[in-house]
Chain A
Amino acid sequence: MSRSYLPHWVHWLGSPPNFYRFAGALRPWLFWSTLVLGAIGLYGGLVLAPSDYQQGDAYRIIFIHVPCAWMSLFAYGCMAAAALIALVWRIKLAEVIAMECAPVGAAFTFVTLVTGSLWGKPMWGTWWTWDARLTSELVLLFLYFGVIGLFNAIEDRRRAARAASLLALVGIVNLPIVHYSVVWWNTLHQGSTVNLFGQSHISADMLWPLLLMALATHLYFFASVLNRARVGLLAVEGGKDWARGLVAESANA
């Protein structure tokens, strides 16, 4: 297979020991910037931003809910992209990254659902509502569970990663279909559901903390996936020399 059209650093990064060191070096930067930006964003959202005209202070949960919702979809996109590379080119690193995106994405989805539920209680008096977006998020959570479950059910790690990658790709085709069908379903059964997200215009005071939180969650996602990928790589490459060398180094240190 011809790889001449890829830049040199992609080849370099694709090698497991190089990736391991690179991700390790990047890790503290990503984590600290996540903490700093997250702290500023939360302060801006929870303290500085004014109360909403209609919803009072309860709306503030959007500063966690919305970025997490965005990340739950972004994580799936990353997973599907890595899955495609893993299936077509059988690159070990892509397999590892695809599989490690799944739990992180599932966590974001879970937080989205919980915060959505927490928002629903003061607003509509109910812990759960079959709102179009929440329902789509629930289905997304099941998609993640399916990928994670399938990956853990097969003994051979590489074969497991490829099977779960195929499932992830099937899921990404399904995702927009699910969303559209749930929206249609909501309109069909009018009056038995509520729309959690009203037509509110977001003011600048609320926008900048939201965007900052979005950035912070992105950074957290990368930090988390890179960290998990390092561990995943070790699990797959355990027999190789570079991995054993690392263990010897830390034993001597």
Chain B
Amino acid sequence: MPEPSLNPDPLLHVRGLAFARNDEPVFGPLDFALDRGETLLVEGDNGSGKTTLLRTLAGMLPPSAGEIRFDGQRISRDAIAGRMVFLGHHPGMKSDLSPCENLMFLSGLYSAREGVDIESALARVDLAAYAHTPLRLLSAGQKKRAALARLALLSGELWLLDEPYANLDRHGIELVNALISMHCARGGATLLTSHGAVRFADPNARHVRLELGTESTVRE
């Protein structure tokens, strides 16, 4: 069990969050809180609004209703700057560059974890052998692991992961789980989505099931 944090505010607190596009409800209203050391798994079928939820939490989409609080403050660019790592649907990396070059770029924008450099981050995701191969020559699983290297390298308390298990084999899935466990043990919080085909390994993780346009409950 993760230790209780000294900070009384949950890292992420969501109240009445809803999103609608062209007046069609996409998800919500949602209420949940995520404390340090916790992991929240958002499940739902394809098209249930998981990706939209994650993008709204990251601040890319404005919610139609409700509010998001990060560490007690309303979510804003300054509040989350450098404290969140987002893994979207797309790898977020340039396919003409190698994983090493991509990570070098990222470390110019974000701060790296103490004691971690690019080589060790790539080794953590078992990509050391392909560190200098352009991404477009790698397989889908390898590309995903290159994107995951970001999690090993960068510092950030809140992880927002959209379908982190997609394109991965069993070994890759174990890798993701290992990364998340270590992140929790360090006091970070993770929110990830999955379409339900993969069960999260940690029995302590809380689940939220999202259906399109309906209320959702948090299953402990």
Contact = CB atoms under 8 A, between A and B. Distances in A.
B114 interface: no
Contacts of A157: 22
Contacts of A90: 62
Contact of B24 (A158, A236, A237, A239): A239
Nearest to A158: B22
B23 interface: yes
B21 A238 contact: no
Nearest to B20: A239
B23 A240 contact: yes
Nearest to A240: B23
A236 B22 CA distance: 7
A249 interface: no
Interface in B15-57: 21-24
A239 B21 CA distance: 11
B54 to A, nearest CB: 18
B91 to A, nearest CB: 25
A156 B23 CA distance: 10
Contacts of B23: 236-240
Nearest to A155: B22
A233 to B, nearest CB: 12
Interface string A89-128: 0100000000000000000000000000000000000000
Provide the main secondary structure of the chain A interface.
Answer: loop
A157 B23 CA distance: 10
Contacts of B21: 156
Interface centre among B21, B22, B62 (most CB of A within 10 A): B22
B153 to A, nearest CB: 33
A238 B20 CA distance: 13
Nearest to B25: A239
A236 B23 CA distance: 8
Contacts of A240: 23
Interface string A215-253: 000000000000000000000111110000000000000
A50 to B, nearest CB: 57
Contacts of A238: 23
A157 B24 CA distance: 12
Contacts of A237: 23
Nearest to B21: A156
B109 to A, nearest CB: 25
A236 B24 CA distance: 11
Contacts of A239: 23-24
A84 to B, nearest CB: 18
Nearest to B23: A239
A240 B21 CA distance: 13
Contacts of B62: 90
Contacts of A236: 23
Interface string A72-100: 00000000000000000010000000000
Nearest to A236: B23
Interface in A152-170: 156-158
B56 to A, nearest CB: 14
Max chain A C-beta neighbours (<10 A), residue from B21, B24, B62: B21
A162 B24 CA distance: 19
A251 B23 CA distance: 23
Nearest to A238: B23
A87 to B, nearest CB: 13
Nearest to A235: B22
A172 to B, nearest CB: 25
11 contacts: A90-B62, A156-B21, A156-B22, A157-B22, A158-B22, A236-B23, A237-B23, A238-B23, A239-B23, A239-B24, A240-B23
Given A156-B22, A236-B23, A237-B23, 8 more contacts: A90-B62, A156-B21, A157-B22, A158-B22, A238-B23, A239-B23, A239-B24, A240-B23
